[in-house]
Structure 1
């Protein structure tokens, strides 16, 4: 008994013309001569269209998800080429985004500084914010000097800005976190913008305890 798998995918390795002749021969002597052949696999049409295309940038992505004998995915060269081209386009888009940030922030700033009333209000708010941080610095230094007078704490007020280096070691910082639930970077830097007058005494006590015991 002769049998032939009727399919649109060429798994035999023979040329399509040879395959068609084989079908006619088998159909002539087969009991399944009236069985309709399956429609062509769409992927074959993609391959034919690819071969017919004259574009120098063509890439055949119809096939590329097969695996080898060890079940490892096979990445075809056409897929690698497509990935390279896609990456170059993504880089081009990213470059445009990162090099040209949104302008609404600059427009808001321009609106403020070009309006005398708004500009004066902004300067008042800046003085209030900077003044609060400077005041907290002074309060922290005074508390530390009162609780641990044998150590120089003048670096607290010699620094400016939102952050301050406390001079604590990594071991002391770990103690601050584990024992007092005060979190900071392990180089001893703290954010004074997150400190208020009500918490100064608690922070000073924790720092002194860490310095003396660690």
Structure 2
């Protein structure tokens, strides 16, 4: 039986970095579920298909190959915008949740990060983490990331985008972003990624010992 670590939280809270560190430490498979929506959106764009046809979007979502998700390609802003449009479609969410649940069965364990892993995708996960940080900190991280990469950015614009995305994610009728009742909260506003990893590792080790 696969050991599942579910990690949820808003954008730029650090859950992606934390997820990859955990997967590497334990030899688990990792899935950034946000990329599955981006992959479906990219497939629609590449095929010249509409982004407002739920039946077409669902069919496309069911053809997404979870083993071929390239974060460098899928991180493009236009793809993100398109993904946000299809992510609110119940049929698309059902299709991708099915694929994500199938991924979660991989042995010896999996780490899935996203917005609804502990609440919807893997409610029976062995460990559930909700990683968050203040909107100001998350906007600054995103700003620094862009500038360090050689791009240009405006902090105020990014800050407003972060708040807008939070409102959209948390106010969504289908699978809104919220902590699972039994999730462990990790606020990384003033916590290093190493400290967050150690906190997560402690929780995972306890859960793993219970399965032995």
TM-score range, shorter chain: under 0.3
Structure possessing the higher radius of gyration over alpha carbons: 1
Which structure is higher in RCO with an 8 Å CA cutoff and minimum separation 6? 2
Q: Higher strand fraction: Structure 1 or Structure 2?
A: 2
The TM-score with structure 2 as length reference comes to 0.17
TM-score by length of 1: 0.17
